[in-house]
Amino acid sequence: MKRTFLNLKTFAAIIFTAGLMTACSNEDDTVVAPEPDTEEPDAVEDPRWITVAGAKMGEEPGDGNGGTLIYSVTSEDAKNPNVSIEPFENGFIAPSNRTARLQSSEDGNTIFNISYAGDTGGNYTKYTVEGGQTFTPAGTEVSIAPYVGTAPRWIKLFDGDQTGAAVYVNNENEFDENDAYTRTEATIGVVTLDLVNSSIKEFQEHSVALSAEEEAQGYYISRIDMPTLNAAGDKLYIGARLSKVDPATAESDSGFEILGSKTIILDYPSLLNPSVITSTVGHGNTNGYRSINSFEYNGSVYQANQNDPEGSHILKIDADNEYDDTYDFNLDDALGIEGAYILAWRPAANGKAVLAYRHDGSAEGVAGLQGFFALVDLNAKTAVKINDIPYDPDFYLFQYQGFVVEGTEIYLTQGAVGQNGNIYVVETETGAVTKGAELVNVAGSHFIGVF
């Protein structure tokens, strides 16, 4: 569609000419001024920026270690299949030695980044989204490396874009006076970051223990990630992965029994009083990987788990800060597959979500197992594969990071490693899928989401 624009000079000339014509047509040469327009003009909403992120190849296809490039378009252009986006050729390089850990404001106008690894690892920066490759630095930089290291695991809390939280865990085996193994100490660190003023808000370290029986068997918390604020805003939930040593040798034990999924709980905002809760429904890890792993919805927190022997579950933590073990949502059962593994997911406010997953039947692609998307209903505990998105054996979603929620619509990226793809928009109420802008790829690289 061709759009016509009038500049101010042209507009003034038209008004002046119209005035002369009106004056000449009046017999008494009296010019009557028009009644003033008292109606308020319709408000024009600013565009919702959709920022596409691509992970460039380092040494191997799909490793994402060559850096992260971002490029933004309006939501209107993101839905337009005639629009072509080339983030790897024209994008802004997000500062990071490896794949950047990106977050966006709820309105899409700000990108938050903490560099991962290297000399700048742990540096927090934020940018105002201006469109295209223009991301203007906003505020000041601050390093969280002194608190959580140069490769921090962090997330933006859902508190109106006010706070970020980053975490780490250190482990050390302990022995008695006879050099016999007793337990593995897990010391966690948690820092909260003022995203508005670029400053540290709070930092705490804690020793977090499992039960005496579990620790005697060699279990310990080996990785933590994905802090999530509860609905009341007074507790922080942190996902955890368990590992195990052989108590007889203190050597790593890989063939161990998977325990019930666990979450660390801290008081918020003080980050004090750690405790651990355990699910009897799901087993395996709750720390996720690159994407947010748990979300508050309707007063509860819904959390994905991984490496569950019965396939990934979505678990529920209620307002009493305990797992709701009456809520049993197993993805294997819902999708009719085996070995479901939730890679990333994001719900809309209606309790319906888009979920990226793989399973035991996934093809082995150039960078790992093939991924798929499903539409999930948290209330009905149902999931259905989204068939209107094309899939390829090289469609790799393990490093997937970002979805955009706009009302009941969820935006995502599709594109196999080294191949072009598209933005797709899923209307979660109906399941309708819109094919959007083309995403132009380069050899060995892949798209890791939208923000």
φ and ψ at residue 270, rounded to 5 degrees = -70, -25
DSSP string covering 221-252: EEEEEEEEE-TTSSEEEEEEEEEEEETTTTEE
Gyration radius from the chain CA atoms: 26
Largest CA distance in the chain: 116
Output the pLDDT for position 98. Answer: 86
Burial-class residue 65 by CB neighbours within 10 Å (0-12, 13-18, 19+): middle
Output the pLDDT for position 247. Answer: 98
Can you give the pLDDT of all 451 residues of the chain as single tens digits?
Answer: 333 333 333 333 333 334 434 333 444 443 344 454 545 555 556 779 999 999 999 999 999 999 999 999 999 999 999 999 999 999 999 999 888 899 999 999 999 999 998 888 999 999 999 999 999 999 999 999 999 999 999 999 999 999 999 999 999 999 999 999 999 999 999 999 999 999 999 999 999 999 999 999 999 999 999 999 999 999 999 999 999 999 999 999 999 999 999 999 999 999 999 999 999 999 999 999 999 999 999 999 999 999 999 999 999 999 999 999 999 999 999 999 999 999 999 999 999 999 999 999 999 999 999 999 999 999 999 999 999 999 999 999 999 999 999 999 999 999 999 999 999 999 999 999 999 999 999 999 999 999 9
| Domain residue ranges of the chain, discontinuous segments joined by + | 152-327
Output the pLDDT for position 112. Answer: 97
Nearest to 347 by CA among 286, 429, 279: 429
Provide the 10 A C-beta neighbour count for residue 257. Answer: 9
Output the pLDDT for position 414. Answer: 98
DSSP string covering 409-437: EEEEEE--TTS-EEEEEEETTT--EEEEE
| 269: preceding bond cis by omega (within 30 degrees) | yes
Output the pLDDT for position 4. Answer: 32
| Sequence-ordered list of residues with C-beta below 8 angstroms from that of 211, at least 6 positions apart, any chain | none
Mean pLDDT score of the chain: 92
Q: Is 86 helix (H, G, I), strand (E, B) or coil?
A: coil
| Sequence-ordered list of residues with C-beta below 8 angstroms from that of 412, at least 6 positions apart, any chain | 354, 356, 373, 389, 403, 423, 424, 425, 426, 449, 450
Output the pLDDT for position 47. Answer: 73
> Which two tokens mark 408?
């009941």
Residue 315: how many CA atoms within 13 Å on its side-chain side?
33
Encode pLDDT of 174-223 as tens digits: 999 999 999 999 999 999 999 999 999 999 999 999 999 999 999 999 99
